[in-house]
């Protein structure tokens, strides 16, 4: 049997008993698998430990801070960062093993292309592919912006891009998409207020239309049929809902919607990056 690759895989989890096993099995070749669990109430921790993962428990506070803390706990300098809804396919695993097993790699950070799915459908257009994200890096040169939603990734060195894809089961179905977007737009609106932004109606309308047109027309989302239209519609709606919640919070003078309903945090964190598209 080949020696394990000197790589720490970090997987963030919360109530992922139904998906974490497939994720961990896809990286069984790594030298360390570290699961950082956000107080799961299901069998996530038991399943992870049964597959040989080291599990640490930490409540999610701020996404970027949570990720940075997780990377600091790893035993190896090189880190592959995953969520439980992501899978490393054999071709990508071989590429990473070759990269780290043949002397110093050309770069110290790498973006990995992703195949994003809604249900069982791979969304190939509308800006959803290749959607490369910073996933493989030396922890000493990489960090996340410590903000509540859509943190940016920062690296102090140039980066490369791997050739093979990561599988990302973004949403279980359309209802899952709608539910998660509701949670994320709440945090987006709170972030605008915390940053002291002034977002006017005209700008919100322009962003809403612009996101839809760019996704559906300019990035050819129409080639994905009805699901492409849905994805583009949701891209525009994200901007509109964020603005409506922003206005509601502002009128209430707090980080909660008018009427006192508590703001919610997302169940599964999403990512945004400062990197080439």
Confidence of residue 255 (pLDDT cuts 50, 70, 90): low
| Closest CA relative to residue 269, chosen from 1, 7, 39, 12 | 12
Report pLDDT digits (tens) over 198-213: 999 999 999 999 999 9
Report pLDDT digits (tens) over 108-144: 999 999 999 999 999 999 999 999 999 999 999 999 9
Confidence of residue 256 (pLDDT cuts 50, 70, 90): low
Report pLDDT digits (tens) over 15-36: 999 999 999 999 999 999 999 9
Over 90: is that where the pLDDT of 263 sits?
no
Tokens of 86: 């992501």
> Using an 8 Å Cβ cutoff, are 32 and 74 in contact?
yes
User: Which domains occur in the chain, in start order?
Assistant: 5-171 (3.90.550.10), 174-252 (no CATH)
Report pLDDT digits (tens) over 176-200: 999 999 999 999 999 999 989 999 9
Residues in CB range of 64: below 8 A, 6 or more apart? 143, 144, 145, 146, 147, 151
Tokens of 81: 């960062």
Over 80: is that where the pLDDT of 170 sits?
yes
Confidence of residue 274 (pLDDT cuts 50, 70, 90): very low
Give the pLDDT of residue 131: 94
Over 60: is that where the pLDDT of 264 sits?
no
Q: How high is the mean pLDDT of the chain?
A: 90
Give the pLDDT of residue 103: 83
Residues in CB range of 182: below 8 A, 6 or more apart? 241, 264
Report pLDDT digits (tens) over 50-77: 999 999 999 998 899 999 999 999 999 9
Give the pLDDT of residue 1: 44
Give the pLDDT of residue 2: 59
Give the pLDDT of residue 249: 95
Tokens of 242: 């964020």
Report pLDDT digits (tens) over 143-161: 999 987 788 999 999 999 9
């Amino acid at each position: 049997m080949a020696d394990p690759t000197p790589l720490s895989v970090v997987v963030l989890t919360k109530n992922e008993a139904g998906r974490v096993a497939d994720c961990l099995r896809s990286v069984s070749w790594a030298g360390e698998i570290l699961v950082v669990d956000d107080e799961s109430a299901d069998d996530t921790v038991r399943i992870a430990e049964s597959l040989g993962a080291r599990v640490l428990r930490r409540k999610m506070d701020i996404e970027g801070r949570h990720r940075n803390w997780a990377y600091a706990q790893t035993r190896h300098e090189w880190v592959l960062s995953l969520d439980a809804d992501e899978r490393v396919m054999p071709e990508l695993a071989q590429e990473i093993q070759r990269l780290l097993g043949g002397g110093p790699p050309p770069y110290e950070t790498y973006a990995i292309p992703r195949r994003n799915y809604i249900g069982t459908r791979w969304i190939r257009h509308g800006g959803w592919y290749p959607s490369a994200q910073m996933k493989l890096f030396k922890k000493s040169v990489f960090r996340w912006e410590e903000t509540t939603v859509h943190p940016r990734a920062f690296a102090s060195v140039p980066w490369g891009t791997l050739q093979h894809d990561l599988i990302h089961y973004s949403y279980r179905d359309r209802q899952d998409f709608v539910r998660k977007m509701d949670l994320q737009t709440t945090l987006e609106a709170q972030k605008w207020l915390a940053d002291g932004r002034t977002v006017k109606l005209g700008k919100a309308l322009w962003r809403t239309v612009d996101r839809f047109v760019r996704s559906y027309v300019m990035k050819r989302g129409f080639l994905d049929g009805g699901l492409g239209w849905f994805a583009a519609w949701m891209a525009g709606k994200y901007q509109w809902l964020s603005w409506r919640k922003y206005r509601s919070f502002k009128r209430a003078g707090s980080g909660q919607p008018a009427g006192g309903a508590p703001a919610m945090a997302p169940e599964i964190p999403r990512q945004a990056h400062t990197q080439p598209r």
